[in-house]
Chain A
């Protein structure tokens, strides 16, 4: 086996006109990070709302939340990407739909962030719900008994505890959204995996291309992992299981 890697290829000019190959990958990495972070912000927001809805004593809301999670979890991400790219603008009011298709800046990026966000939201909702349900029932009653309204009870008592519990599972969802963002190459977003394909095609250095991109993905995963571990440490409660003193 001849593993004579020519890392120098990274410095060569690519024929795409985007500068040297390393710059091609750098652009890809930036789109990957932007898409994953935007999607994650949406996923956290929507996922938290849906997760809470599913625990509320109002049947229709809980049902709606359950239905959302079931539908989104059972459709492949790629199909959802195509939905947000091709179908969604048709469902919008005509004017807005036209704008979405023709004039919206960065359509691939926005579509990918939307798709990843709503997809990951279902998974976040699942975690948030089980976090809430894992709290002792008495906590909610104790808060209500003090005169807190239900929204106050969630905001001040239930969610601060539930979010601490779900930091570890959310960490893996956060890492997943970076990996899942590779699917966006299917709608033409020039993210990292898309750029890797380009580099492979033009340079013929398959192994170097894959190795470089793998390294970049691993750095991202590592950063997320460390960041979330830091958050977990910061939010640790003294005296609780696994907590500091």
Chain B
């Protein structure tokens, strides 16, 4: 589904990504972790072309992201993305947030979009808030709406960039529950997260990044059982301590 092959990226002289290679099969849930500044966000943004990269290739469902002729808006409309800071559109109601891209990008009619949006809103347990604005919801609620908004596009895969790290502890689980359910339904997911409990329960594979490189790319049990690299061990012991 997602094939990342020898991807390198520079910001001027500074190399953010070095020869990153991995693939994510259909229905697979992959957790990406690593220290701050290791390039996790950059890598995940390369997958839907929000960040350009200078060498290597990324194929999403067979479409090359970096190729010059690629219709990026079309490709992005098929890949859902969820951000650390939710990024709901604050000037639009929850319903409008859910419907706008369905109507303007997919060309669905307003009724169809509304029905789909409300159905997903119900699924994330927020149907009662349809008429509110994002600023009137809690962080956890906003993030669930953001997930519903992405799902409304019927994506073939979902990208998550630290979806819970801006949330108060008591709201983290409500978001992780939605993600867990999504994984159980067979969604292809690439999740940057430090929620190791989630990784243990839900992920099939764990990728560990450091200084722009994929240092470890292992099945979940192998990763948590005995990470091969010292850096991953250090990282795990630090993060599991608290």
Contacts and interface: CB of A to CB of B under 8 A. Distances in A.
B76 to A, nearest CB: 5
Contacts of B4: none
Contact of B48 (A143, A145, A238): A145
Interface string B77-107: 1111101110111110000000011001110
A111 B105 CA distance: 43
Nearest to A141: B50
A233 interface: no
Interface stretch (B13-21, B119-127, B129-137, B173-181): B129-137
A156 B104 contact: yes
Interface string A111-153: 0000000000000000000000000101101111111110010
B153 interface: yes
Place the interface of chain A in its size category.
20 to 34
B74 interface: yes
Contacts, number: 81
Contact of A160 (B45, B78, B87, B91): B91
Given A145-B48, A146-B76, A147-B101, A239 B135 contact: yes
Interface string A154-173: 00110011001000000000
A239 to B, nearest CB: 3
Interface string A59-91: 000000000000000000000000000000000
Contacts of B83: 138, 141-142
A239 B136 contact: yes
A229 interface: no
B91 A161 contact: yes
Interface residues of B, number: 33
A146 B150 CA distance: 7
Nearest to B131: A238
Nearest to A142: B87
Interface string B38-61: 000000010010100000000000
Contact of A148 (B105, B132, B149): B105
A148 B73 contact: yes
A146 B101 contact: yes
A141 B42 CA distance: 13
Nearest to A160: B91
Contact of A139 (B76, B80, B89): B89
A141 B45 contact: yes
Most chain B beta-carbon contacts within 10 A, residue among A141, A145, A152? A145
A148 B153 CA distance: 12
A164 B92 CA distance: 13
Given A144-B50, A147-B106, A239-B134, 20 more contacts: A141-B50, A142-B87, A143-B89, A144-B73, A144-B76, A145-B50, A145-B79, A146-B100, A147-B77, A147-B153, A148-B104, A148-B105, A149-B73, A152-B105, A161-B90, A239-B132, A239-B133, A239-B135, A239-B136, A239-B137
